[in-house]
A and B are shown apart, each in its own frame.
Chain A
Amino acid sequence: MTVVQFTPFSSLVQPAFWHELTRLKIDVLKLSEESLPITASYSVGRSITDRETGQEVALGCNLTISDDSFNDTKTLQRLPANSVRVNGTFKNFNTIEEFKEADKSALFNQTADEIWNGIKATGDISLLNRFLLITFADLKKYRYYYWFAFPAFVAKPAWSIDDAGWKSAEEHIGRDALSGIHTQLQSSPSAYFLARPRSSEDKTDSHNYEIAPISSLDSFFANTPAEQQIIGFVDPSPLPQNPGWPLRNLLTFLRIRKSTLNPIRVLCWRDVDIPASGKPWKSRFGIVQASVSEAEGDVRPAAVGWEKNPQGKMAPRMADLAPMMDPSRLADQAV
C-alpha cells in the first residue's frame, strides 16, 4: 500500500489576463481592494512524444486563466471538450506592502470554508474546485506579482492505493467501455462523473458503460455491485502514477457524504480524442482506500494548496511583462 500522491495544479496565466487586469484596475477597480469572482479552466493532462528520443514528455498540470476570466460565466466562450471551468476568488492589492502583509491564512481559510460548506451543507459538486488568486500589479513597471492557492483537504489517515498502483484504464475496463464513456462525456461534459456497466439482458452488451452526475450517487449505484462502481474525474495530471489535484477534494466529498463507498475505484480521465487504432488510451485506473476513522466530518480538516514559486519556495510568482508591454522596450524590437 502506498500513499496516493496528487499532482498539484500549476497556474498558467495568459498575458491577455494581465492586460485585462491593467484595464480593470485603471478603469473599474481603481483603489478598490474588494474580492471579485473569477473563473479559470483546466483540461485533461497531456503528454507528447519527443520525436527525437521517442520518450513521452509530460506537460504541466495546468490551471489556465485568460482575459475573459473576469467575465460573467454566462458570457464566457464555450470551452473545448474535456475542459472544466473552475470558480475562484480574486483579490488585487494596491501596494506591494499590502500584498506582503495581507492575512493570507484568512483568505485561504475563507476559500477552504466555502469548499467545506459545499461538501457539508449543500453537496454542491461545483464548489469542490475553488481557488484563490491574490495579485499586486506594478503598472508602471509592467510587473505582476501573484499567488495562487488551490485548497485541498488533507485526509487523515491518507488515501492509499493497492500494490498494483495506477494502471492503464484500458487494461482494466477495456477499450469499448472507454469509448462508451468518451461518447457520453462529449455530450454531457462534467468534471466528475459516475460510471457503471450498462445493465443489459444479453451479455454481448456488457462492455458498454454509462455515466451519471455525482449528485445521483445513491440511485445510480443502487443495483450495481461494489466492484463495478467507478468514480471518474477529468484529470489534469499527465503523470502516470499521480492523479491530479481535483481528485483530492472529491475523495473528501465521498468520505463525508458516502462513507460506505470504500475502497473507491477511480478512473482518471485523460483522453480528449478516441486514440487511433493501435494507440493506447491514456486514462488511468486505480483502487484507493483509507481506513475509516472515528467520528469524522464535523470539523473541517486542514487544507493545503498554496502554489510554490519556480524555485520551489512558498512565495509569490512574478510575471514581468515589460518586454511585451513597455512601449520603449517594444520600439527596440521593431525592425
Chain B
Amino acid sequence: MQHAIQRNIFALRDYLSPVLKESKFKEHGRITPEEFVAAGDFLAYKFPVWTWEKGDASKARDYLPSDKQYLVTRGVPCLRRATSLAYTDADEDAERLLSFGDSSAPGDGDEWVETHAGRKPNHDTAASAGEIGDIPDIDADADGAANALGNMSLSGSKAAPPAGETPDLDDIPDMEEELEGGDDEATAAPSGPTGGVIDASEVEVAKGNLLQVRTYDVMITYDKYYQTPRIWLLGYDENGSPLTPPQVFQDISADHAFKTVTIEAFPHSKSLQAASVHPCKHASVMKKVIERMNAGVVEEQRRLSGGSATPTKEGKKWPFRKSSGNKEEKTPNDDDVEGMRVDFYLVVFLKFIASIVPTIEVDSTTAF
C-alpha cells in the first residue's frame, strides 16, 4: 500500500519535473534527453550489442524520439555471484592501476584501480574444487540476508527459495511422459562432449554455486527527475528461468544490494518489474568521474593542439576527439579545448555501473 502511494508520488514527480534543457553534464553530471539520445546513438554505433527500443507505445516519453525510448542489450553473461567477489583485506594488496580507455595512450593520468587483480584463478577450476573451503563462506551470509528479505512478506508466506533451486518443485505437475521412444543418439546430451569449451550446465554441476552462468537483459532508460540514465536488470538462471529478486541481489555488490538497488516497475512497459539501480546518486558520481576524466582529456587535447608540429592523430583518442560535425571547427587554442564529449557519457556510465554489478559483464566496452 505504502509502496503504491510512493510509486504514484514518484510518477507525479516525474510528470511535473521539467525536461532539462541546457547541457549540465560537466557541471552536475546530468544530461538532457537530447544528450541521452546522442550518447545512446554513440553507444549503439560503437557497440552494436546495444540497441534502441520503442517500448510500449502508451508509455512512450514525448521528450525522446518514439523509436529511441530506451537502450537494451540482451543475454549479458554473469559467471559468478557478486557475493563471491566480496572484498577482503587480503585483496587490498592486489590492487593495480588500470589505464582507462585505449591502451595506445597510457600514462595520461586516467588510471583506474582494479581491485581484484591478484585473485587466483584456482578458486574456480574444477580440479581444485577441494580448495573451496579456504574461501570464506560469504554466500551463506548473503543467502541468509536474501532469505530474510524474502521472509518479510506481509502475508507471511514461505521464504524465498534458496538460490539455484527450482522454486516450488512440488507444484510442477508430475507429468513426465514417454513422448519419444528411447534416447535419440543424435541429440547431444546436455553436458555433452566438449572439447576445450565448458558447457554452462556442466559448469554448474561441477562447481556448485561458484560458477553458474546467468544471463541478464540490461536496459538503460532516461530518468527525467534525476536527469541521468537509469539502469534496469532482468535476470535468467542457467535454465532460462527468470531470477527472483533475492537471486538478483546476489549479483549486486554488497554495498548496494539492499540500499540503492530495488525492484520497480519498468517505465516502458505496462506491467514489467525489473531490478533497478536508483539514480539519486548517479549525477554526483558521474560528475566526479567526468571531472577526473575531463582533466585528463583536456590536457591531452592541449598537448595535441599546443602548437606542436605533429598533426593531431584523429581517431587515436576516438571517444574524445571525434570531430563534431554540427559545430564550427574550433581553433586549437587553450581556451577552446572541448574536453570530454557528451557522446561518451554512457560509456563512462557503464563503467560506473560495472562497479555496482561487478560480475555482470555490462561493460562490453573493455572487450574492444
A residues contacting B by CB (< 8 A) are 3-8, 10-16, 19, 22-23, 46-48, 50, 52-60, 62, 64, 67, 77, 80-81, 96, 99-100, 104-105, 108, 143, 145, 154-155, 158-159, 237-242, 248, 273, 276, 302, 304, 306, 308-321, 323-325, 327-335
Contact = CB atoms under 8 A, between A and B. Distances in A.
A242 B110 CA distance: 44
A104 B4 CA distance: 42
Interface string B206-220: 000001010101000
A14 B243 CA distance: 11
Given A58-B197, A240-B197, A53 B240 contact: no
B361 A48 contact: yes
Contacts of B171: 143, 318
A310 B186 CA distance: 20
Contacts of A318: 166, 168, 171-172, 241
13 contacts: A7-B192, A14-B234, A15-B242, A53-B124, A58-B197, A99-B173, A143-B171, A240-B197, A248-B186, A318-B166, A323-B160, A334-B262, A335-B262
B144 interface: no
A47 B166 CA distance: 25
Interface stretch (B11-19, B149-157, B326-334, B338-346): B149-157
B15 to A, nearest CB: 20
Nearest to A46: B75
A59 B215 contact: yes
Nearest to B167: A320
A155 B179 CA distance: 18
Given A47-B197, A58-B198, A317-B241, A306 B54 contact: no
Contacts of B1: 331
Interface stretch (B25-33, B93-101, B264-272): B264-272
Contacts of B175: 100, 315-316
Given A50-B79, A52-B119, A329-B153, A58 B199 contact: yes
Interface of B: 1-4, 6, 48, 51, 53-54, 74-75, 77, 79-80, 119, 121, 123-125, 149-150, 152-155, 160, 166-168, 171-181, 184-190, 192-200, 203, 211, 213, 215, 217, 234, 236, 238-242, 244-246, 258-259, 262-264, 269-274, 361, 368
A50 B194 contact: no
B267 to A, nearest CB: 13
B187 A304 contact: yes
Contacts, number: 218
Nearest to B183: A304
B201 to A, nearest CB: 8
B180 A304 contact: yes
A330 B180 contact: no
Contacts of A306: 179-180
Contact of B152 (A48, A55, A240, A332): A332
Give the residue among B1, B199, B258, B274 with the most A Cβ atoms within 10 A: B199
B77 A6 contact: no
Nearest to B77: A48
Nearest to B264: A334
A319 B242 contact: yes
B8 to A, nearest CB: 13
A53 B200 contact: no
